[in-house]
Chains A and B, each alone.
Chain A
Amino acid sequence: MDFGESDVERSWRAEVHAFVQRWKDRGLPEIAALRSRTDTATTYSELEQSYFDELGELGWNSLRWPAQHGGAEASSFLTAILSFELEHAGLPPIDLTVTSLAPVMMKFGTEPNLRDWLPGMRSSAIICALGYSEPEAGTDLASLRTSAVQDGDHWVINGEKTWNSGAHFSTHQWLAARTDPSAPKHRGISVFMVPIDAPGMEVFPMTSWAGNRINRVTFTDVRIHSSALIGQANEGWKLIAGALDFERAEIGARVTGKLKRMLDELETYCRETTVDGMRLIDRESVRQVLAELTVEVEIAELMSYEITSAVDAGEIPTVSGTMQKVFASELRTRLSLVAIEIAGASGQLTWADPAAPADGMFEHQYRTAPVQRFGGGTNEVMRDVIAQRGLGLPRGDRA
């Protein structure tokens, strides 16, 4: 058991720092912030695309991939450092297309799948929107109704997806559709790669509470070639359930980066802000709250070390990953609420106001944080998972 940093990790961090500084200097964090706060951004700007392209060229999209697919077979701790540093700097995260979908494709995909899709995923030429949730199927995803019917060499897709965050800047939908309506609900689902410009697919913008754009996407007789089927027909649930297992280390590190960034910003704000004749940091009650948050953020960080170490040992840390998800997501909300409270009257200023504390980070995080509490399964279902798979308690009334 070693909590220390190895020489390899130290020099890797220096390399990542240099990369991060370059993209900060080019103003990418401001563009990324705008994309997360407003619904006007559409496809990636030239700057954003060149950032993702560079991640591809450096091989940082495929750090953990096996060598046979062009990966560096790096430890998940190295990828965790990268994910942490990007998030801490406010840069866009490594896309789930490469952290989650590509690994699941390598595990369950066919040879032609790998040949057709992997190179584009590795280079950032392919970026996927997650076509999972539907108006009637969220956490209970296996109830999804969007259908795909085989017609010769093609599949014909009909249905509707929602909370489709990436449809306006992605190249493809990673789409879950029902291919066998007569099978038990988890066994009749398949996954397809659907080009975002496929005829019959329409994207309708929706605006989230956080202000950013998400989408509703409809499919009307969308015909796609059978080569778009990923893995085997009717075995899509394996891909959906497995995808999360591949990105736990990155997600844990990313969330840690987010929490530390929020805490650092809060501390800086308290150091620089004087109200009623006293700097906020000089108030004992404020320092006490910051101390409490420091403890909790580090607990979340420690949990993500455990996940990372487990992944490097070849384990699938379902339970510890779920624990971290629940803990960190609720902490993110609490941290932003506490920050708004410390800011007093100014706490109500939104990011759109130049006087907003920490450029509006806290109020915006407060509105963004719910995604993490329900995304990837609500925390209520996550607690069921901890209790049943982690503690061995019996399945309850949830079917």
Chain B
Amino acid sequence: MDIRLTDEQQALIDSADAMLRRHCTTDVVRAVRSGDPTGALDELWKRIVDAGWLELALRDPSGGPGTLLELGLIGREAGRHLVPTVFYSVIESVVLLDRLDETGTHADLLESILGGAVKVAVAFGETATERRADLLESRAEPVHDGWALELRKTLVRGAPTSDQLIVACSTPDGLGFFVVNAADVTVIPQATFGHDPHGRVEASGVVLPDSACVGQVGASAERTWSEVRDVMTALTAMDLAGSSQALVDRTVEHLKSRQVFGKPLGAFQAAQHIAADMAIRAKGASLAALRAAWAVDRGDASHELAVAKTWAGRAAKQNSVWAHQLHAGMGFVTETDLHLWSDRVVGMDAGYGTAAHHLRDLAENLHEPADERKGHRHGFR
């Protein structure tokens, strides 16, 4: 075991950091939060596409470990610099198409996404289910040469800004995913804590051709959906780890520059100890998320993902709370930007299971004795 980053991985981080520092400024972030009337995202999106980040979500054609760890490193930078979350809705569609569209029916669509020409989001969640396919109320019924869809989706990230959607429906043969034009369904924007585009997606009686179906319905779609969730959970944990670190860094800068009682705020032990605890939390988040990203590329990672998302989500939110405490009034006003990270971490953590959900999974596993539990044990063991 050697968990140091390779030189190539460090170079990837450095280049992402440099690009985002320049092109994902808080001005851009604020503009996108406000609905992006001037197209502030376009320039950044072009650079993301040119940097090849979307391709990192593709599997290794030879079947070896892919580049999810590298994509995770990008995710951590995205969390540090607040890359608009449409990045993740597009990544999710890439992962789903890459893994499920075995016949290549949607190869052109995937190509267009990777080339930056279109944005696509995956719509799965509904009011009554976040992850269970067997509880979906949205349906696709086979009709002559095609499918008729009834859609009742909620909290579809990226829906209001996507050109097409890949919607999850129950079919007579199990779970299926279908590509639909955003213009052909009703998208109702939702107001979220993260101020990032989410929407309800509704449709009644939309008829799609057979070719709209991605891959096979049933077991293969269900297996792929589970893989997609794993990838997205790991990326979300990495993003949260990045935001956690950004909250440490911003707070430390504030502690150094803010003068109180004739000396820097950061000279007070009470403030130092809070900052030290924030740094410990962020460190743990990063390590757990990296291990999860590494494990997802190598098979069953459910345990590592649950640990990572639980810790990363809680760490980010706790760091946000303490960052506000140490910034006091300087963090309460919006002009100092601190709230941008605070909004981000609550919004990001809400996706792919919060600690409440992942701890329940870990707790359920405890029904099995340790040596019969699934998942690999590594490290010191």
Contact = CB atoms under 8 A, between A and B. Distances in A.
Interface of A: 1-6, 9, 13, 77, 80-81, 84-85, 253, 256-257, 260, 264, 267, 271, 281, 284, 287-288, 290-292, 294-296, 298-299, 301-306, 308-310, 312-313, 320, 323, 326-327, 380, 382-384, 386-388, 390-398
Given A288-B359, A299-B287, A305-B1, A3 B275 contact: no
A53 to B, nearest CB: 26
Contacts of A308: 1
Interface residues of B, number: 52
A394 B283 CA distance: 21
Contacts of A312: 2
28 contacts: A1-B5, A2-B1, A2-B3, A3-B1, A5-B378, A77-B1, A84-B380, A256-B380, A295-B359, A295-B362, A299-B287, A299-B311, A301-B379, A301-B380, A302-B284, A302-B288, A305-B287, A306-B287, A309-B2, A383-B276, A383-B277, A386-B279, A387-B266, A387-B279, A394-B263, A394-B266, A394-B267, A396-B268
B230 to A, nearest CB: 16
B276 A3 contact: no
B366 A290 contact: yes
A384 B279 contact: no
A275 B49 CA distance: 59
A271 B369 contact: yes
A390 B379 contact: no
B379 A391 contact: no
Nearest to B361: A291
Contacts of A387: 266, 272-273, 275-276, 279
B380 A304 contact: yes
A281 B368 CA distance: 10
A9 B1 contact: yes
B113 interface: no
B252 interface: yes
B294 A81 contact: no
B272 A292 contact: no
Given A80-B380, A81-B380, A386-B276, A394 B366 contact: no
A393 B380 contact: no
Contacts of A3: 1, 3, 290-291, 294-295, 378-379
Contacts of B267: 393-397
A1 B381 CA distance: 18
A390 B266 CA distance: 13
Interface of chain B: mostly helix, strand, loop or mixed: helix
B128 interface: no
A395 B378 CA distance: 40
A88 B156 CA distance: 46
B364 interface: yes
A4 B287 contact: no
Which of B252, B275, B311, B381 is most buried by chain A, counting CB atoms within 10 A of its CB? B381
B366 A287 contact: yes
A2 B294 contact: yes
B255 interface: yes
A298 B288 contact: yes
B252 A2 contact: no
Contacts of A310: 4
Contacts of A304: 380
A55 to B, nearest CB: 19
A383 B3 CA distance: 25
A23 to B, nearest CB: 19
Contacts of B370: 264, 267
A397 to B, nearest CB: 7
Given A291-B363, A295-B310, A309-B4, A323 B283 contact: yes
A295 B307 contact: yes
B367 to A, nearest CB: 8
B287 A390 contact: no
Contact of B252 (A1, A291, A383, A391): A391
Given A387-B275, A387-B276, A306 B284 contact: no
A1 B310 contact: no
A148 to B, nearest CB: 34
Chain A contact residues: helix, strand, loop or mixed: helix
A396 to B, nearest CB: 5
The 10 A-B pairs of least Cβ separation, nearest first, read A387-B272, A287-B363, A291-B362, A302-B287, A84-B380, A386-B276, A383-B276, A299-B284, A393-B266, A291-B363
Interface in B323-371: 359-360, 362-364, 366-367, 369-370
Contacts of B266: 387, 393-394
Interface of B: 1-6, 9, 69, 248, 252, 255-256, 263-264, 266-269, 271-273, 275-277, 279-280, 283-284, 287-288, 290-291, 294-295, 298, 306-307, 310-311, 359-360, 362-364, 366-367, 369-370, 378-381
Given A3-B378, A257-B380, A388-B272, A306 B366 contact: no
B178 to A, nearest CB: 36
Contact of B1 (A6, A256, A260, A397): A6
A10 B360 CA distance: 32
A327 B276 contact: no
Q: Which of A3, A256, A284 has the most CB atoms of chain B within a 10 A radius of its CB?
A: A3
Given A1-B290, A288-B360, A384-B272, 13 more contacts: A3-B3, A3-B290, A295-B310, A298-B288, A298-B307, A299-B311, A305-B287, A320-B283, A382-B276, A383-B276, A390-B279, A393-B256, A393-B264
Given A295-B307, A393-B256, A396-B268, A2 B2 contact: yes
B248 to A, nearest CB: 7
A288 B360 CA distance: 7
A291 B4 contact: no
Nearest to A395: B267
Contact of B288 (A271, A299, A395): A299
Contact of A327 (B273, B284, B362): B284
Contact of A1 (B9, B263, B268, B379): B9
Nearest to B359: A291
Contacts of B269: 380, 384, 396-398
A393 B295 CA distance: 36
Nearest to B268: A396
A81 to B, nearest CB: 6
Given A294-B362, A326-B280, A390-B279, A1 B6 contact: yes
A287 B5 contact: no
